[in-house]
Amino acid sequence: MVRIGGTRLHVMDAVSVIGAKRDGRELTDDQISWVIDAFTRGEVADEQMSALAMAIYFQGMTRRELVRWTAAMLDSGKRMDFAALPRPTVDKHSTGGVGDKITLPLVPLVAACGAAVPQLSGRGLGHTGGTLDKMESIPGWRADVSPTRMAEMLADPRIGAVVCAAGADLTPADRRLYALRDVTGTVPSIPLIASSIMSKKIAEGTAALVLDVKVGAGAFMPDADSARELALAMVELGADAGVRTVALLTAMDTPLGRTAGNALEVAESVEVLAGGGPSDVVELTVALAREMVAAAGIRDVDPADKLADGSAMDHWRALVAAQGGDPDAPLPTARHTAVLTAADSGTLTRLDALAVGVAAWRLGAGRARQGEPVQAGAGIEMHAKPGDPVTAGQPLLTLHTDTPEAFARAEAALADAVAIDRTAAPAQASPLVLDRIE
Ligand code: URA
């Protein structure tokens, strides 16, 4: 601090903020507000913010720092306000998993229960797919929706939801920082993930939020303790901001459902909405829907009934059509397929989520850099899940791609993905919901 003519001026510079965090000191409120604001304005350079992210990765943040950091990210842009809607707002966020298409059946299901669901989603990067990439495989569907149209869709009792890209003016600091973290090995930091997710969700203006925090091989958080710490940090940030927030810890050792890839996952989601689909996808969709409905304050409605009676499907069709999509149009398919078969007979004991995610990504379902196109039809179908009996030579995985040269790299990613035990007995799937934090 310096004093000029009686006025106290705080003089900040990025190097001293980075140095303080590098050396394990707690950042002041002023340092945090300044560095996020200056970064958003382009005054703090990308390499400086990357160094600060790495210092945070190693040193962590105190609760006070995290609250301030999240508020500063929020203040970097605009906030949406849906308080005037005639129905309660509630949203969901997943920390990302392989085959995690839950948002697709979940959003119309919760809308069918009477809530308004403003789902601002992202595109995928790396081995986990993005909801917008999945939805964009539906012919005609568009992710850009104006704030006025969003409010109309949310208020419309036939739709009650919107799935769209966040506008550029919503938490611009997070947009810039996430792009840097992605290429500097600083994504898996609990305070950076918590502030990134919660600043976006608070800015989106939802009154209640349910978090699906993934644990396991295919997730950011490989163990339950770190997932619980992340969940708790986010639940506290939500509560501080007046957003009723609940988190479920859910298993991500093996992919969800039987598909990983954009159009393949849309088809599976439609099966769930039609009353079928894989049992794990149905179980998690209903579990999250019950949490969302309760968080929205809606009583006496069971989402399982709204799935069974077709009203969730009606909301899906209205939602797709409202964003230019044709819910009846055939989904795109990949030009080439290859089948991988079981090497042995026995019980499938492992189907590794990370390996399947990386293979689907290499087949063209995901992108390596922001802005790259993805293949709508690319991905993997899984014909058996852990616990299932398998016979030598039976199809285990079907790989889909438009670029057959990708098969070799995808197969390399899958080299150790599968284990078959000749002596193990077939088993029920392990529980998906591991814990609940409120
Ligand atoms: N998703 C986000 O939005 N931010 C993160 O930091 C990680 C996952």
What contacts 90, CB < 8 A, 6 or more positions away?
110, 115, 116, 117, 206, 207, 208, 209, 210, 292, 293, 295, 296
Q: Is 315 a catalytic residue?
A: no
Q: What percent of the chain has pLDDT over 70?
A: 97
Q: Is residue 262 within 6 Å of ligand 1 at its C-beta?
A: no
Q: Is 344 a catalytic residue?
A: no
Higher pLDDT, 163 or 128: 163
Q: At what angle do helices 172-182 and 29-40 cross, to 10 degrees?
A: 80
| β 379-382/244-251 pair status | unpaired
Q: Tell me the per-residue pLDDT of 108-147, one tens digit each, with 9 for 90 and over.
A: 999 999 999 999 987 776 676 789 999 999 999 999 999 9
- Rounded CA-CA distance 132/141 in Å is 10
What's the CA-to-centroid distance between 194 and ligand 1, angstroms? 7
State residue 98's pLDDT score: 94
- Domains of the chain: which residue ranges? 2-60, 90-322, 336-421
| Closest CA relative to residue 70, chosen from 192, 168, 205 | 192
Please identify which of the residues 91, 174, 253, 352 carries the catalytic annotation.
Answer: 174
Q: Is 367 a catalytic residue?
A: no
Q: Is the pLDDT of residue 383 over 60?
A: yes
Q: Tell me the per-residue pLDDT of 87-100, one tens digit each, with 9 for 90 and over.
A: 999 999 999 889 99
Kindly indicate the confidence band of residue 56, based on its pLDDT and cuts at 50, 70 and 90. very high
- Rounded CA-CA distance 208/288 in Å is 13
Pocket test for ligand 1, best of 93, 190, 192, 197 (most atoms within 8 A of CB): 197
Among the four given CATH numbers 3.40.50.300, 3.90.1170.30, 3.30.70.360, 3.50.50.60, the one describing domain 336-421: 3.90.1170.30
Using CA atoms, how far residue 240 sits from 75, 95, 217, 438, in Å, is 15, 20, 31, 13
- Rounded CA-CA distance 109/106 in Å is 5
Nearest-CA residue for ligand 1 atom 2 is 197
3-state secondary structure of 108: helix
Please identify which of the residues 92, 127, 200, 367 carries the catalytic annotation.
Answer: 200
Residue type for position 263: A
- Rounded CA-CA distance 117/115 in Å is 6
State residue 64's pLDDT score: 97
| Phi then psi dihedrals of residue 239, to 5 deg | -60, -45
Q: Tell me the per-residue pLDDT of 168-189, one tens digit each, with 9 for 90 and over.
A: 899 999 999 998 998 888 988 9
Burial 291-311 (b: 16+ CB within 10 A, else e): bbbbbbebeebebeebbeeeb
Burial 20-37 (b: 16+ CB within 10 A, else e): bbeeeeebbeebbbbbbb
Using CA atoms, how far residue 210 sits from 116, 150, 164, 272, 292, in Å, is 14, 20, 18, 20, 6
Give the mean model confidence (pLDDT) for residues 9-15: 78
What's the CA-to-centroid distance between 257 and ligand 1, angstroms? 23
- State which ligand 1 atom lies nearest to the alpha carbon of 181: 6
- State which ligand 1 atom lies nearest to the alpha carbon of 200: 3
What's the CA-to-centroid distance between 300 and ligand 1, angstroms? 34
State residue 7's pLDDT score: 54
Residue type for position 246: V
Pocket test for ligand 1, best of 49, 70, 95, 170 (most atoms within 8 A of CB): 95
Say if domain 90-322 classifies as CATH 3.40.50.720. Answer: no
pTM over 0.85? The answer is: yes
Q: Is 409 a catalytic residue?
A: no
3-state secondary structure of 428: coil
Q: Is the pLDDT of residue 214 over 50?
A: yes
What's the CA-to-centroid distance between 95 and ligand 1, angstroms? 7
What contacts 47, CB < 8 A, 6 or more positions away?
none
State residue 172's pLDDT score: 96
3-state secondary structure of 113: coil
User: Could you tell me the CATH superfamily of domain 2-60?
Assistant: Transferase, Pyrimidine Nucleoside Phosphorylase; Chain C (1.20.970.10)
**Tokens at residue 62, please?**
């105190």
What contacts 230, CB < 8 A, 6 or more positions away?
95, 190, 193, 194, 213, 220, 221
Q: How many CB atoms lie within 10 A of CB 64?
A: 13
Q: How many CB atoms lie within 10 A of CB 369?
A: 9
- Rounded CA-CA distance 291/337 in Å is 39
What contacts 4, CB < 8 A, 6 or more positions away?
none
Kindly indicate the confidence band of residue 218, based on its pLDDT and cuts at 50, 70 and 90. confident
State residue 430's pLDDT score: 84
CA–CA–CA angle 348, 353, 359 (5° rounding): 105
State residue 232's pLDDT score: 97
Q: Is 201 a catalytic residue?
A: no
Q: Is the pLDDT of residue 385 over 70?
A: yes
Partner residues linked to 212 by β-bridges: 94, 248
Kindly indicate the confidence band of residue 436, based on its pLDDT and cuts at 50, 70 and 90. very high
Least confident of 5-14, 230-239, 251-260: 5-14
What's the CA-to-centroid distance between 175 and ligand 1, angstroms? 10
How many helices (H) and strands (E) would you count in the chain? 16, 15
Please identify which of the residues 21, 127, 175, 181 carries the catalytic annotation.
Answer: 181
Q: Is the pLDDT of residue 105 over 80?
A: yes
Nearest-CA residue for ligand 1 atom 7 is 193
- Rounded CA-CA distance 126/137 in Å is 18
Q: Is the pLDDT of residue 10 over 80?
A: no
Q: Is the pLDDT of residue 2 over 50?
A: no
